[in-house]
A and B are shown apart, each in its own frame.
Chain A
Amino acid sequence: MPLLIDLLSWALILVGGAFGVIGGIGLLRLPEFFSRIHAASITDSMCAPCIIAGLMLQSGLTLVTVKLAFLVVFLFLTSPTASHALAKAALHGGMDPGRTRRLDGEAEG
Protein backbone atom coordinates (compact mmCIF):
# COMPACT_ATOMS: atom_id res chain seq x y z
CA MET A 1 0.00 0.00 0.00
CA PRO A 2 2.70 2.56 0.79
CA LEU A 3 4.37 1.55 -2.45
CA LEU A 4 1.17 2.32 -4.34
CA ILE A 5 0.89 5.72 -2.69
CA ASP A 6 4.52 6.47 -3.50
CA LEU A 7 4.10 5.45 -7.12
CA LEU A 8 0.92 7.49 -7.47
CA SER A 9 2.46 10.60 -5.96
CA TRP A 10 5.56 10.21 -8.15
CA ALA A 11 3.34 9.93 -11.22
CA LEU A 12 1.30 13.00 -10.23
CA ILE A 13 4.36 15.13 -9.54
CA LEU A 14 5.97 14.11 -12.83
CA VAL A 15 2.78 14.79 -14.75
CA GLY A 16 2.54 18.18 -13.08
CA GLY A 17 6.10 18.93 -14.06
CA ALA A 18 5.37 17.90 -17.64
CA PHE A 19 2.41 20.26 -17.74
CA GLY A 20 4.65 23.02 -16.47
CA VAL A 21 7.14 22.40 -19.26
CA ILE A 22 4.32 22.26 -21.84
CA GLY A 23 2.99 25.56 -20.55
CA GLY A 24 6.43 27.09 -20.82
CA ILE A 25 6.96 25.89 -24.37
CA GLY A 26 3.53 27.17 -25.31
CA LEU A 27 4.34 30.55 -23.79
CA LEU A 28 7.34 30.86 -26.07
CA ARG A 29 6.05 29.31 -29.26
CA LEU A 30 2.43 30.32 -29.61
CA PRO A 31 1.97 33.14 -32.09
CA GLU A 32 -0.26 35.61 -30.41
CA PHE A 33 -0.74 37.26 -27.03
CA PHE A 34 -4.13 35.83 -26.15
CA SER A 35 -3.12 32.25 -26.94
CA ARG A 36 -0.03 32.78 -24.81
CA ILE A 37 -2.26 33.71 -21.88
CA HIS A 38 -3.93 30.34 -22.33
CA ALA A 39 -0.58 28.57 -22.24
CA ALA A 40 0.40 30.38 -19.07
CA SER A 41 -2.86 29.51 -17.37
CA ILE A 42 -2.25 25.81 -18.07
CA THR A 43 0.60 26.07 -15.61
CA ASP A 44 -1.67 27.51 -12.96
CA SER A 45 -4.57 25.13 -13.50
CA MET A 46 -2.85 21.81 -14.17
CA CYS A 47 0.79 21.91 -13.13
CA ALA A 48 0.39 23.29 -9.60
CA PRO A 49 -2.69 21.20 -8.58
CA CYS A 50 -1.09 17.97 -9.87
CA ILE A 51 2.08 18.62 -7.90
CA ILE A 52 0.10 19.58 -4.82
CA ALA A 53 -2.04 16.43 -5.14
CA GLY A 54 1.15 14.37 -5.26
CA LEU A 55 2.38 16.12 -2.13
CA MET A 56 -0.95 15.54 -0.41
CA LEU A 57 -0.62 11.81 -1.04
CA GLN A 58 2.85 11.89 0.46
CA SER A 59 1.77 13.55 3.69
CA GLY A 60 -1.18 11.30 4.43
CA LEU A 61 -4.01 12.37 6.71
CA THR A 62 -2.39 15.20 8.65
CA LEU A 63 -2.85 18.93 9.06
CA VAL A 64 -0.41 19.46 6.20
CA THR A 65 -2.89 17.83 3.79
CA VAL A 66 -5.66 20.19 4.91
CA LYS A 67 -3.39 23.19 4.35
CA LEU A 68 -2.44 21.89 0.90
CA ALA A 69 -6.14 21.46 0.11
CA PHE A 70 -6.74 25.10 1.05
CA LEU A 71 -3.82 26.03 -1.22
CA VAL A 72 -5.40 24.24 -4.19
CA VAL A 73 -8.75 25.94 -3.62
CA PHE A 74 -7.09 29.33 -3.39
CA LEU A 75 -5.06 28.69 -6.55
CA PHE A 76 -8.16 27.63 -8.45
CA LEU A 77 -9.87 30.85 -7.41
CA THR A 78 -7.08 33.30 -8.10
CA SER A 79 -5.09 32.12 -11.11
CA PRO A 80 -7.95 32.13 -13.65
CA THR A 81 -8.84 35.54 -12.26
CA ALA A 82 -5.30 36.69 -12.93
CA SER A 83 -5.50 35.45 -16.53
CA HIS A 84 -8.83 37.22 -16.89
CA ALA A 85 -7.37 40.45 -15.53
CA LEU A 86 -4.44 40.13 -17.94
CA ALA A 87 -6.70 39.61 -20.94
CA LYS A 88 -8.96 42.46 -19.86
CA ALA A 89 -6.01 44.79 -19.46
CA ALA A 90 -4.74 43.82 -22.92
CA LEU A 91 -8.12 44.48 -24.51
CA HIS A 92 -8.31 47.78 -22.69
CA GLY A 93 -4.81 48.67 -23.83
CA GLY A 94 -5.83 48.26 -27.43
CA MET A 95 -4.76 44.76 -28.40
CA ASP A 96 -7.15 43.24 -30.88
CA PRO A 97 -7.65 39.48 -30.65
CA GLY A 98 -8.83 39.35 -34.22
CA ARG A 99 -5.43 40.08 -35.70
CA THR A 100 -2.57 37.83 -34.84
CA ARG A 101 0.74 39.41 -34.07
CA ARG A 102 3.97 37.47 -34.17
CA LEU A 103 6.63 37.89 -31.57
CA ASP A 104 8.64 40.17 -33.83
CA GLY A 105 5.75 42.57 -34.12
CA GLU A 106 4.74 41.76 -37.67
CA ALA A 107 0.98 41.71 -38.01
CA GLU A 108 -0.89 39.23 -40.10
CA GLY A 109 -4.41 39.68 -41.32
Chain B
Amino acid sequence: MDTVVDILLLAFLAICAISILRLRDLFAMTMMFGLFSLISAGLFTTMDAPDVAFTEAAVGAGISTILILATLAQTSRREQATPARSKLVPLAVVWVTGAVLIYGTADLPAFGDPEAPVHNHVGPHYIQESGKEIGIPNVVASVLASYRGYDTLGEVVVVFAAVVGVMSLLGLRRRPPGLRPARGKPDPNDVLKVIATMVVPVILLFALYVQFHGEYSPGGGFQAGVIFAAAIILYALVFGLDKARQVIPPKVLNRLPAVGVLIYGGVGVVTLLLGGNFLEYYALAEDAKTAQHMGILFIEIGVGVTVASVMLLIYFIFSERGRGKRPDEENSDGDGDGDGDGEGAVSRDAGGTA
Protein backbone atom coordinates (compact mmCIF):
# COMPACT_ATOMS: atom_id res chain seq x y z
CA MET B 1 0.00 0.00 0.00
CA ASP B 2 2.85 2.37 0.76
CA THR B 3 4.23 1.63 -2.67
CA VAL B 4 1.00 2.68 -4.35
CA VAL B 5 0.81 5.93 -2.39
CA ASP B 6 4.46 6.70 -3.15
CA ILE B 7 4.10 6.06 -6.86
CA LEU B 8 0.89 8.11 -7.02
CA LEU B 9 2.48 11.07 -5.26
CA LEU B 10 5.58 10.89 -7.44
CA ALA B 11 3.37 10.75 -10.54
CA PHE B 12 1.54 13.87 -9.37
CA LEU B 13 4.89 15.54 -8.80
CA ALA B 14 5.98 14.68 -12.33
CA ILE B 15 2.75 16.10 -13.77
CA CYS B 16 3.24 19.30 -11.75
CA ALA B 17 6.82 19.60 -12.92
CA ILE B 18 5.84 19.15 -16.59
CA SER B 19 3.14 21.78 -16.23
CA ILE B 20 5.66 24.19 -14.66
CA LEU B 21 7.84 23.53 -17.69
CA ARG B 22 5.13 24.20 -20.24
CA LEU B 23 3.02 26.99 -18.76
CA ARG B 24 3.55 30.35 -20.42
CA ASP B 25 1.54 32.32 -17.92
CA LEU B 26 3.98 32.79 -15.07
CA PHE B 27 1.35 33.46 -12.40
CA ALA B 28 -0.17 30.06 -13.12
CA MET B 29 3.32 28.57 -13.05
CA THR B 30 3.84 30.03 -9.58
CA MET B 31 0.67 28.39 -8.29
CA MET B 32 1.79 25.05 -9.73
CA PHE B 33 5.13 25.63 -8.06
CA GLY B 34 3.41 26.03 -4.69
CA LEU B 35 1.42 22.87 -5.37
CA PHE B 36 4.64 21.04 -6.26
CA SER B 37 6.18 21.95 -2.91
CA LEU B 38 3.06 20.91 -1.03
CA ILE B 39 2.82 17.50 -2.73
CA SER B 40 6.50 16.89 -2.06
CA ALA B 41 5.80 17.70 1.60
CA GLY B 42 3.14 14.98 1.53
CA LEU B 43 5.66 12.60 -0.01
CA PHE B 44 8.17 13.35 2.73
CA THR B 45 5.51 12.57 5.34
CA THR B 46 4.84 9.15 3.87
CA MET B 47 8.59 8.54 3.93
CA ASP B 48 8.68 9.06 7.72
CA ALA B 49 10.23 12.55 7.60
CA PRO B 50 7.74 14.99 9.20
CA ASP B 51 10.41 17.56 10.12
CA VAL B 52 11.50 17.77 6.51
CA ALA B 53 7.89 17.87 5.31
CA PHE B 54 7.13 20.71 7.71
CA THR B 55 10.09 22.75 6.52
CA GLU B 56 9.43 22.06 2.84
CA ALA B 57 5.76 23.04 3.11
CA ALA B 58 6.51 26.23 5.02
CA VAL B 59 9.51 27.27 2.95
CA GLY B 60 8.59 26.01 -0.50
CA ALA B 61 4.85 26.56 -0.59
CA GLY B 62 5.09 29.70 1.53
CA ILE B 63 8.19 31.79 1.17
CA SER B 64 9.44 30.74 -2.27
CA THR B 65 6.01 31.22 -3.83
CA ILE B 66 5.68 34.69 -2.30
CA LEU B 67 9.14 35.66 -3.52
CA ILE B 68 8.43 34.50 -7.07
CA LEU B 69 5.15 36.45 -7.03
CA ALA B 70 6.96 39.55 -5.77
CA THR B 71 9.50 39.16 -8.57
CA LEU B 72 6.78 38.66 -11.20
CA ALA B 73 5.12 41.88 -10.06
CA GLN B 74 8.24 43.71 -11.17
CA THR B 75 8.98 41.75 -14.30
CA SER B 76 6.62 40.49 -16.94
CA ARG B 77 3.77 38.08 -16.39
CA ARG B 78 4.08 36.08 -19.55
CA GLU B 79 7.01 34.17 -20.86
CA GLN B 80 7.97 35.11 -24.37
CA ALA B 81 7.94 32.27 -26.86
CA THR B 82 11.39 30.85 -27.35
CA PRO B 83 12.47 31.82 -30.86
CA ALA B 84 13.96 29.43 -33.37
CA ARG B 85 16.11 27.81 -30.76
CA SER B 86 16.82 24.15 -31.17
CA LYS B 87 15.35 21.95 -28.49
CA LEU B 88 17.43 19.00 -29.58
CA VAL B 89 20.58 19.79 -27.65
CA PRO B 90 18.86 20.24 -24.27
CA LEU B 91 16.77 17.11 -24.88
CA ALA B 92 19.83 15.09 -25.75
CA VAL B 93 21.71 16.33 -22.69
CA VAL B 94 18.77 15.53 -20.42
CA TRP B 95 18.21 12.05 -21.83
CA VAL B 96 21.87 11.11 -21.64
CA THR B 97 22.24 12.42 -18.09
CA GLY B 98 19.06 10.69 -17.00
CA ALA B 99 20.11 7.38 -18.51
CA VAL B 100 23.53 7.54 -16.89
CA LEU B 101 22.02 8.37 -13.50
CA ILE B 102 19.47 5.58 -13.69
CA TYR B 103 22.24 3.19 -14.65
CA GLY B 104 24.14 4.46 -11.62
CA THR B 105 21.31 3.76 -9.20
CA ALA B 106 21.51 0.06 -9.99
CA ASP B 107 24.09 -0.29 -7.25
CA LEU B 108 22.08 1.52 -4.63
CA PRO B 109 20.50 -0.61 -1.89
CA ALA B 110 16.86 -1.51 -2.28
CA PHE B 111 14.36 1.06 -1.08
CA GLY B 112 13.73 0.47 2.63
CA ASP B 113 16.47 -2.09 3.12
CA PRO B 114 17.46 -2.18 6.80
CA GLU B 115 20.93 -3.52 5.99
CA ALA B 116 21.91 -0.59 3.79
CA PRO B 117 25.33 0.94 4.56
CA VAL B 118 23.80 4.26 5.52
CA HIS B 119 22.15 2.60 8.51
CA ASN B 120 25.31 1.05 9.87
CA HIS B 121 27.46 3.92 11.07
CA VAL B 122 26.25 6.97 12.94
CA GLY B 123 22.52 6.50 12.34
CA PRO B 124 21.96 3.78 14.95
CA HIS B 125 24.41 5.52 17.29
CA TYR B 126 22.29 8.68 17.25
CA ILE B 127 19.07 6.77 17.84
CA GLN B 128 20.46 4.69 20.68
CA GLU B 129 22.54 7.30 22.45
CA SER B 130 20.35 10.34 21.99
CA GLY B 131 17.90 9.32 24.67
CA LYS B 132 20.61 8.72 27.22
CA GLU B 133 22.97 11.56 26.43
CA ILE B 134 20.58 14.35 25.56
CA GLY B 135 17.18 13.19 26.68
CA ILE B 136 14.85 14.81 24.16
CA PRO B 137 12.53 12.58 22.16
CA ASN B 138 12.96 14.24 18.77
CA VAL B 139 16.14 12.66 17.48
CA VAL B 140 16.28 14.97 14.47
CA ALA B 141 16.31 18.00 16.77
CA SER B 142 19.02 16.53 18.95
CA VAL B 143 21.18 15.66 15.96
CA LEU B 144 20.61 19.06 14.38
CA ALA B 145 21.28 21.09 17.50
CA SER B 146 23.82 19.05 19.40
CA TYR B 147 25.58 16.31 17.49
CA ARG B 148 25.79 18.38 14.28
CA GLY B 149 25.73 21.83 15.80
CA TYR B 150 28.52 23.11 13.55
CA ASP B 151 26.50 22.34 10.43
CA THR B 152 23.57 24.26 11.81
CA LEU B 153 25.83 27.20 12.64
CA GLY B 154 26.91 27.20 9.01
CA GLU B 155 23.31 27.07 7.88
CA VAL B 156 22.33 30.07 10.01
CA VAL B 157 25.25 32.01 8.60
CA VAL B 158 24.18 31.09 5.05
CA VAL B 159 20.71 32.48 5.74
CA PHE B 160 22.33 35.61 7.11
CA ALA B 161 24.53 35.88 4.02
CA ALA B 162 21.42 35.60 1.84
CA VAL B 163 19.81 38.59 3.52
CA VAL B 164 23.05 40.55 3.19
CA GLY B 165 23.08 39.67 -0.51
CA VAL B 166 19.47 40.67 -1.09
CA MET B 167 19.94 43.88 0.88
CA SER B 168 22.96 44.92 -1.10
CA LEU B 169 21.24 44.12 -4.39
CA LEU B 170 17.82 45.58 -3.73
CA GLY B 171 17.52 47.26 -0.40
CA LEU B 172 19.73 50.29 -0.38
CA ARG B 173 17.35 52.67 -2.09
CA ARG B 174 16.12 54.74 0.84
CA ARG B 175 12.95 56.23 -0.51
CA PRO B 176 11.09 54.50 -3.32
CA PRO B 177 10.26 57.02 -6.02
CA GLY B 178 6.70 58.03 -6.71
CA LEU B 179 5.28 56.65 -3.51
CA ARG B 180 1.52 57.04 -3.60
CA PRO B 181 -0.52 57.89 -0.51
CA ALA B 182 -3.26 55.54 0.53
CA ARG B 183 -6.63 56.23 -1.00
CA GLY B 184 -10.13 55.66 0.20
CA LYS B 185 -11.37 54.96 3.67
CA PRO B 186 -10.51 51.54 5.04
CA ASP B 187 -13.59 49.39 5.51
CA PRO B 188 -13.48 47.71 8.93
CA ASN B 189 -15.98 45.06 7.86
CA ASP B 190 -13.94 43.86 4.95
CA VAL B 191 -13.89 40.07 5.13
CA LEU B 192 -10.16 39.76 4.64
CA LYS B 193 -9.36 42.24 7.36
CA VAL B 194 -11.68 40.56 9.85
CA ILE B 195 -10.34 37.09 9.20
CA ALA B 196 -6.74 38.29 9.22
CA THR B 197 -7.29 39.98 12.56
CA MET B 198 -8.55 36.70 13.96
CA VAL B 199 -5.99 34.43 12.38
CA VAL B 200 -2.66 36.30 12.68
CA PRO B 201 -2.42 35.97 16.50
CA VAL B 202 -3.14 32.24 16.22
CA ILE B 203 -0.37 31.84 13.66
CA LEU B 204 2.08 33.73 15.89
CA LEU B 205 1.13 31.52 18.83
CA PHE B 206 1.62 28.45 16.69
CA ALA B 207 5.06 29.70 15.68
CA LEU B 208 6.04 29.99 19.33
CA TYR B 209 4.60 26.51 19.99
CA VAL B 210 6.62 25.00 17.16
CA GLN B 211 9.75 26.75 18.39
CA PHE B 212 9.61 25.48 21.94
CA HIS B 213 7.91 22.15 21.37
CA GLY B 214 10.37 21.25 18.66
CA GLU B 215 12.18 18.93 21.02
CA TYR B 216 9.16 16.68 21.52
CA SER B 217 7.47 16.78 18.14
CA PRO B 218 8.48 17.80 14.63
CA GLY B 219 9.50 21.41 14.69
CA GLY B 220 12.33 23.61 15.78
CA GLY B 221 13.84 26.96 15.03
CA PHE B 222 13.63 26.96 11.23
CA GLN B 223 10.00 26.05 10.91
CA ALA B 224 9.05 28.42 13.72
CA GLY B 225 10.92 31.30 12.12
CA VAL B 226 9.25 30.74 8.76
CA ILE B 227 5.77 30.52 10.32
CA PHE B 228 6.38 33.71 12.28
CA ALA B 229 7.43 35.51 9.11
CA ALA B 230 4.40 34.11 7.28
CA ALA B 231 2.07 35.61 9.89
CA ILE B 232 3.55 39.09 9.46
CA ILE B 233 3.56 38.70 5.66
CA LEU B 234 -0.17 37.85 5.81
CA TYR B 235 -0.69 41.00 7.84
CA ALA B 236 1.25 42.99 5.25
CA LEU B 237 -0.76 41.53 2.37
CA VAL B 238 -4.10 42.41 3.95
CA PHE B 239 -3.42 45.70 5.71
CA GLY B 240 -0.73 47.23 3.54
CA LEU B 241 3.02 47.41 3.65
CA ASP B 242 3.25 50.60 5.71
CA LYS B 243 1.28 49.25 8.64
CA ALA B 244 3.20 46.01 8.58
CA ARG B 245 6.48 47.93 8.66
CA GLN B 246 5.38 49.41 11.96
CA VAL B 247 5.04 46.00 13.58
CA ILE B 248 8.79 45.70 13.84
CA PRO B 249 10.52 49.04 13.19
CA PRO B 250 13.03 48.88 10.33
CA LYS B 251 15.91 49.89 12.57
CA VAL B 252 15.28 46.85 14.75
CA LEU B 253 14.43 44.49 11.91
CA ASN B 254 17.61 45.28 10.00
CA ARG B 255 19.70 44.23 12.95
CA LEU B 256 17.79 41.13 14.06
CA PRO B 257 19.45 38.62 11.66
CA ALA B 258 22.81 39.54 13.10
CA VAL B 259 21.43 39.23 16.64
CA GLY B 260 20.31 35.66 15.91
CA VAL B 261 23.70 34.62 14.56
CA LEU B 262 25.28 36.36 17.52
CA ILE B 263 23.17 34.33 19.97
CA TYR B 264 24.19 31.11 18.26
CA GLY B 265 27.87 31.94 18.14
CA GLY B 266 27.63 33.46 21.59
CA VAL B 267 26.63 30.13 23.06
CA GLY B 268 29.78 28.67 21.56
CA VAL B 269 31.94 31.45 22.95
CA VAL B 270 30.36 31.07 26.40
CA THR B 271 31.19 27.38 26.43
CA LEU B 272 34.74 28.29 25.45
CA LEU B 273 34.99 30.76 28.31
CA LEU B 274 33.58 28.20 30.73
CA GLY B 275 36.31 25.76 29.90
CA GLY B 276 34.91 23.46 27.22
CA ASN B 277 35.28 23.37 23.44
CA PHE B 278 33.33 25.56 21.05
CA LEU B 279 29.65 24.56 21.32
CA GLU B 280 30.37 21.86 23.87
CA TYR B 281 27.25 22.24 25.95
CA TYR B 282 28.57 20.16 28.83
CA ALA B 283 30.38 23.23 30.10
CA LEU B 284 27.12 25.09 30.69
CA ALA B 285 25.80 23.25 33.74
CA GLU B 286 26.59 20.53 36.21
CA ASP B 287 24.14 17.90 35.03
CA ALA B 288 24.84 16.65 31.52
CA LYS B 289 21.24 16.53 30.33
CA THR B 290 20.40 19.96 31.76
CA ALA B 291 23.44 21.40 30.04
CA GLN B 292 22.40 19.89 26.71
CA HIS B 293 18.85 21.19 27.10
CA MET B 294 20.09 24.70 27.84
CA GLY B 295 22.45 24.72 24.92
CA ILE B 296 19.80 23.43 22.51
CA LEU B 297 17.25 25.94 23.81
CA PHE B 298 19.51 28.92 23.25
CA ILE B 299 20.71 27.99 19.82
CA GLU B 300 17.19 27.19 18.64
CA ILE B 301 16.17 30.68 19.79
CA GLY B 302 19.06 32.11 17.79
CA VAL B 303 18.02 30.11 14.74
CA GLY B 304 14.37 31.16 15.09
CA VAL B 305 15.21 34.85 15.42
CA THR B 306 17.51 34.82 12.41
CA VAL B 307 15.19 32.87 10.11
CA ALA B 308 12.11 34.91 11.03
CA SER B 309 13.79 38.25 10.56
CA VAL B 310 15.55 37.17 7.34
CA MET B 311 12.37 35.93 5.66
CA LEU B 312 10.48 39.02 6.72
CA LEU B 313 13.25 41.37 5.66
CA ILE B 314 13.57 39.74 2.24
CA TYR B 315 9.83 40.07 1.67
CA PHE B 316 9.82 43.73 2.71
CA ILE B 317 12.80 44.50 0.48
CA PHE B 318 11.17 42.86 -2.54
CA SER B 319 7.87 44.65 -1.94
CA GLU B 320 9.36 48.06 -1.41
CA ARG B 321 11.48 47.76 -4.51
CA GLY B 322 8.34 47.16 -6.51
CA ARG B 323 6.52 50.17 -5.21
CA GLY B 324 6.07 53.29 -7.23
CA LYS B 325 6.77 51.70 -10.61
CA ARG B 326 4.96 52.91 -13.66
CA PRO B 327 3.06 50.18 -15.51
CA ASP B 328 4.63 49.63 -18.89
CA GLU B 329 3.61 47.51 -21.81
CA GLU B 330 5.33 44.43 -20.43
CA ASN B 331 3.94 44.66 -16.94
CA SER B 332 0.42 43.37 -17.41
CA ASP B 333 -0.68 42.81 -13.86
CA GLY B 334 -3.97 44.55 -14.64
CA ASP B 335 -3.57 46.72 -11.61
CA GLY B 336 -3.19 49.98 -13.38
CA ASP B 337 -2.38 51.93 -10.30
CA GLY B 338 1.39 51.84 -10.66
CA ASP B 339 1.57 50.12 -7.35
CA GLY B 340 3.36 47.15 -8.78
CA ASP B 341 3.29 45.07 -5.69
CA GLY B 342 1.17 42.55 -7.49
CA GLU B 343 -1.21 41.83 -4.67
CA GLY B 344 -3.45 44.62 -5.78
CA ALA B 345 -6.83 43.27 -4.82
CA VAL B 346 -5.74 42.14 -1.41
CA SER B 347 -3.63 45.01 -0.23
CA ARG B 348 -5.83 47.80 -1.45
CA ASP B 349 -8.45 49.34 0.72
CA ALA B 350 -12.09 48.62 0.13
CA GLY B 351 -12.44 51.90 -1.70
CA GLY B 352 -10.73 50.33 -4.66
CA THR B 353 -12.83 47.20 -5.09
CA ALA B 354 -14.92 46.95 -8.19
Contacts and interface: CB of A to CB of B under 8 A. Distances in A.
A joins B in a complex: yes
A81 B354 contact: no
A24 to B, nearest CB: 13
Contact of A88 (B195, B199, B334, B345): B345
Contacts of A88: 192, 345-346, 353
Contacts, number: 37
Interface residues of A, number: 12
A93 B348 CA distance: 13
A84 B345 CA distance: 11
A77 B198 CA distance: 9
Interface string A54-79: 00000000000000000000100110
Interface residues of B, number: 14
A92 to B, nearest CB: 4
B98 interface: no
Contacts of B198: 77
Contact of A85 (B202, B334, B346, B352): B346
Contact of A74 (B202, B346, B352): B202
B334 A81 contact: no
B83 to A, nearest CB: 25
A94 interface: yes
Name, among B191, B334, B345, B346, the residue most crowded by chain A CB atoms within 10 Å (CB to CB).
B345
Interface of A: 74, 77-78, 81, 84-85, 88-89, 91-94
Given A88-B192, A89-B345, 4 more contacts: A77-B199, A81-B192, A81-B195, A88-B345
| A-B CB proximity, top 8 nearest | A89-B345, A92-B345, A91-B354, A81-B195, A93-B334, A88-B345, A84-B191, A92-B354
